[in-house]
């Protein structure tokens, strides 16, 4: 490799090197200049080796992760629309957190073919507001489930209040599932809401497109404001293999409802 090319690869201006070398030549002669260049080259080789090693380590981790298989990859979508006040948000977070502490949830995970699931948590409101608050985590035992529960319990409300776009969160969650860095036997979007879609267009075309990719959409209808919301979910939102709607009569009932829902989703379609 030529000297000019070497410096260009590392983003160093070759003219600076030439200028420094000329100063050395004038002061100490050609021997000093050659020694300086050898030292610089040696230092750059060390940097190159370090960078290559770091890249290979990152690559190895990525390869290992892509070979990982899980029984279920699930996006848990928490309603943060304007109809959800602070107390109701807190009840959602507490209920979801507590669900992962149930021994039955851990047992169901470990009884799967791969003995692990992948979970991510999203907050959502209107067409423009969806946020991943907990990136993908692998849950395989009581310790990893408890760690997830702690992270969920500490999750602040990250979105400004807005309308209710079930359409948008379905598309957002589907994009997450399309790009998971591991293999999953089942793909599920779990949407909790206390109201109908009022933002972002009719959810049925989005629902049908997502389901056509083999993704199941389940719902948790909180009936405190809309007593027939479960029926709305059945007609407009849920779809895919073994889809279902869980019902919570109000936010106080959310904790038990999300536990039942998660248990059913983890066990899978063979058991209702």
**What class, spelled out in words, does domain 68-267 have in CATH?**
alpha beta
Q: What percentage of the chain carries pLDDT values higher than 90? A: 70
State phi, psi for 163 to the nearest 5 degrees.
-70, -170
Give the model's pLDDT for residue 213. Answer: 97
Structure confidence at residue 20 as a pLDDT band (50, 70, 90): very low
Q: What integer is the mean pLDDT of 82-94?
A: 92
Every domain of the chain and the residues it spans: 3-65, 68-267
Give the model's pLDDT for residue 66. Answer: 62
The predicted-structure confidence for 214-223, as pLDDT tens digits, reads as follows 999 999 999 9
The predicted-structure confidence for 118-160, as pLDDT tens digits, reads as follows 999 999 999 999 999 999 999 999 999 999 999 999 999 988 7
The predicted-structure confidence for 159-214, as pLDDT tens digits, reads as follows 877 899 999 999 999 999 999 999 999 999 999 999 999 999 999 999 999 999 99
Query: Which residues contact residue 159 at a Cβ distance below 8 angstroms, ignoring those fewer than 6 apart?
Result: 80, 123, 124, 125, 129, 130, 131
The predicted-structure confidence for 101-117, as pLDDT tens digits, reads as follows 999 999 999 999 999 99
Residue 51, pLDDT > 70, answer: no
Q: What percentage of the chain carries pLDDT values higher than 70? A: 75
Per the structure block, which two tokens stand in for 21? 């070398």
Per the structure block, which two tokens stand in for 210? 């997502």
Give the model's pLDDT for residue 270. Answer: 63
Measured CA to CA, the distance from residue 234 to residue 272 in angstroms comes to 17
Most confident of 8-17, 66-75, 256-265: 256-265
Which residue in this structure is represented by tokens 């090319």? Answer: 5
Give the model's pLDDT for residue 61. Answer: 34
Give the model's pLDDT for residue 230. Answer: 96
Closest residue by Cα to residue 75 from 197, 214, 181, 169 = 169
Closest residue by Cα to residue 223 from 195, 249, 197, 242 = 249
């Amino acid at each position: 490799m030529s000297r000019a090319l070497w410096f260009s690869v590392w983003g160093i201006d070759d003219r600076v090197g030439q200028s420094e070398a000329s100063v050395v030549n004038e002061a100490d002669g050609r021997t000093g200049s050659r020694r300086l260049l050898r030292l610089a080259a040696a230092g750059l080789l060390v940097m190159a080796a370090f960078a290559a090693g770091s890249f290979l380590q990152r690559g190895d981790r990525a390869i290992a992760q892509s070979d990982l298989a899980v029984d279920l990859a699930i996006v848990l979508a928490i309603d943060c629309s304007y109809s959800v006040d602070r107390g109701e948000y807190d009840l959602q977070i507490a209920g979801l957190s507590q669900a992962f502490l149930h021994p039955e949830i851990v047992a169901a995970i470990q009884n799967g073919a791969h003995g692990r699931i992948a979970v991510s948590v999203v907050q959502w409101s209107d067409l423009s507001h969806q946020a991943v608050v907990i990136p993908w985590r692998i849950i395989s035992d009581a310790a990893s489930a408890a760690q997830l529960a702690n992270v969920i319990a500490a999750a602040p409300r990250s979105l400004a209040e807005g309308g209710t776009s079930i359409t948008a969160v379905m598309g957002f969650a589907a994009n997450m599932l399309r790009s998971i860095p591991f293999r999953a036997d089942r793909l599920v979007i779990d949407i909790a809401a206390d109201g109908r879609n009022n933002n972002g267009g009719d959810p049925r075309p989005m629902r049908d497109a997502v389901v056509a990719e083999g993704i199941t959409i389940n719902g948790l209808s909180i009936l405190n404001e809309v007593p027939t919301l479960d029926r709305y979910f059945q007609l407009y939102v849920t779809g895919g293999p073994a889809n279902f709607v869980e019902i919570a009569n109000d936010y106080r009932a959310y904790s038990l409802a999300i536990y039942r829902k998660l248990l059913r989703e983890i066990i899978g379609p063979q058991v209702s």
